[in-house]
Amino acid sequence: MFNRAFKKFLIKKPTKEELYPYLYSIAFKELGT
């Protein structure tokens, strides 16, 4: 589930400014569960 969404996100060629908040939100979700 996560990998598929992440690949779709990367296809859009996000900038670092977009990528870092995205990764942080994922990291916090993973830690929170």
**Is pTM beyond 0.85 here?**
no
Across the chain, mean pLDDT equals 81
Number of H-type helices and E-type strands within the chain: 2, 0
> Is the confidence at residue 1, as pLDDT, over 70?
no
Q: In this prediction, what percent of the chain has a pLDDT beyond 70? A: 91
Q: Rounded CA gap, 21 and 5, in Å?
A: 15
Which comes out higher in pLDDT, residue 9 or 33?
A: 9
Over residues 11-22, the mean pLDDT reads 85
Asked if 2 and 26 touch (Cβ cutoff 8 Å), the reply is yes
